[in-house]
Structure formats: structure tokens, C-alpha cells
Amino acid sequence: MIKRFVTYSFLATMIVACSGQGGESASSAEGEAESAEAAQENNMSATPGELVTLPSGLQYEIIQEGNGQKPEVGDKVTVHYTGTLKATGDKFDSSLDRGQPFSFPVGQGRVIPGWDEGILLFNVGTKARLIIPSNLAYGPQDRPGIPANSDLIFEVEILDIDHIEPHKVYDVSGMEPQTTNSGLQYYIIEEGTGPQAKAGDMVSVHYYGYLKEGETRFDDSFSRGEPIQFPLGSGQVIPGWEEGIALLKEGSKAKLVIPYALAYGEQGRGPIPPAADLVFDVELVKIN
């Protein structure tokens, strides 16, 4: 989200959410979570080989029952999958072919709705088949290898689950911000003990971004369980980040209040409206 020249796409696989933007408002993400939680609560028990149809129209069949834990909304789930078109049986994507499983936070709108609903039903170790109607997949959108209004079939295997605690917005009540000449404001929540970040360093940063007006979350790495990495001073992130991260030592936690001129300017981008000031909770995890 904070990349300057990259479109809003969190995932680079065929099961990325159908918005095409990747980022979403807090309200839409909460709606996805509520829908996924409801599906989990209304889960019908199934025996291997039995085809179960859920109220949403999603169907699933257990191929092999796992005995591990079941994910909760927000957990980072790692899966292997193969996707085919229901109409023709043609394969359009497979993590097995790449030899690389896919990880994502479940129930948060990062993947197509049929995945958010279906993956919540399965324990670690489970192999299952999801039959996803087009309205829970990509709908009227064309995707590479997926015609518009296609029903999809995914064979999935749940490999692992990591529980991720939701980020709590840093409280700066009673604190006075420091302000730079550019207009950037920042609060040091926790001073790190590592080296000072400088141009040319490869930095790993966790972040939680929201609009200063309305406090609407538009993106965060905490929910994905993976910090973003980028070379500081290379122009790959917004100017407010280039300046703000360079103020921190490794291990620091801070809040950056970034004026729109140091963010996405008059034009805005994706879920960020024009001339929007932004706020980021950041943690400088590592400097390489």
C-alpha cells in the first residue's frame, strides 16, 4: 500500500480478492470477517466423500480429515491448492506446480469470498474440495485462464495455522509530536536499541495505515503477519515514509502523521481520497 509505483494488490496469485485493488476499507474488511465467522458458526458436519452445500451456495467435500486446529478469523493460514474450471476441468493455477504453498490471513477479504468462507471450515491436515460459484469468486470479471462468471473448483490442503493478534493502534494521548521541516509529524512510542536507519539500508517494517480524518484503516502488514521490505532512500515508498523511517533505530515503534503532500498528493489513490493526510503506526523490525 505504501509503495509509490505499485498498484493495490496484496497477493500475486490467482486467488487474490476480486476487487482488483487489494486494499479495502475497515468497514468492508469487517463485513468479510462477519460473513466468514457466520459461515464457521453455521458449519454443517461432513464425513469424507459427502458433498455439503452452505447457505451462501458454496459447496465442499472432505477428501481427508485433518486432526489439527481449526483457523479463526485473522489467523495466517498456509495452504497448497490446485484450481480448475468447473465447466471444463481446465487447470488455471496451482501452488503444487510452483512447489510453494500460499499463506494469507483468513476471513479478512484478502482472497475471494469462497476461500474466506471455505478455509475457515477445515482443520490443519485436512484435504478438501471447494466448489465455488462465480459470485463467490471473480463474478463478471475476466481473469487469466478464468472466463467471466466461471464457477471454480479448488482442491486444498491446510498445512499450517499461525495465530496473529490484531494490531492495537498506538495511544499517543498526552504526547506531543515532533515536527520536521517538511511538515511530517512523528511520535516515538518505543525507542529501539539497534542501528539508525539510513539511505541504502534494506529495512523490514511492520505498519498499520489509516486516514487521519475518520480513522479508516486502508492497509496493514500486521494482519498479514509479514513486514514489508524495501531499500530506504530508493524512492520506492511515499516521501513521508522515506523521511520517517530514516528517523528511527532498529526496534523502534513510532506513529507517523504524514501530510498529503508527502503521501499521495492531490490525486489520492485506490481507497485513499484526494488530499488525504495519513497516519501510520510503524515498527522498524530489521535493518540489513
Candidate list 8, 102, 230, 264, residue with the active-site label: 264
Does the active-site annotation cover 2?
A: no
Candidate list 218, 222, 230, 260, residue with the active-site label: 218
Those residues whose C-beta lies under 8 Å from the C-beta of residue 185, and which sit 6 or more positions away, are 177, 178, 179, 256, 257
Contact 153, 59 (CB under 8 A): no
Per-residue exposure over 121-131, b if at least 16 CB sit within 10 Å of its own CB, e if not: bbbbebbbbbb
Those residues whose C-beta lies under 8 Å from the C-beta of residue 64, and which sit 6 or more positions away, are 48, 125, 126, 127
Candidate list 60, 62, 280, 287, residue with the active-site label: 280
Does the active-site annotation cover 218?
A: yes
Selection from 260, 256, 259, 262 nearest residue 280 by Cα: 256
Candidate list 207, 208, 230, 260, residue with the active-site label: 207
Does the active-site annotation cover 170?
A: no
Selection from 5, 15, 26 nearest residue 271 by Cα: 26
Candidate list 238, 245, 258, 272, residue with the active-site label: 238
Alpha carbon distance, N-terminus to C-terminus of the chain: 22
Does the active-site annotation cover 219?
A: yes
Does the active-site annotation cover 162?
A: no
Candidate list 93, 201, 219, 281, residue with the active-site label: 219
Burial class (CB in 10 A: 0-12, 13-18, 19+), 98: exposed
Spatial separation of the C-alpha atoms in residues 246 and 11, rounded to whole Å: 27
Burial class (CB in 10 A: 0-12, 13-18, 19+), 110: buried
Does the active-site annotation cover 260?
A: no
Residues marked as catalytic: 207, 218-219, 238, 264, 280
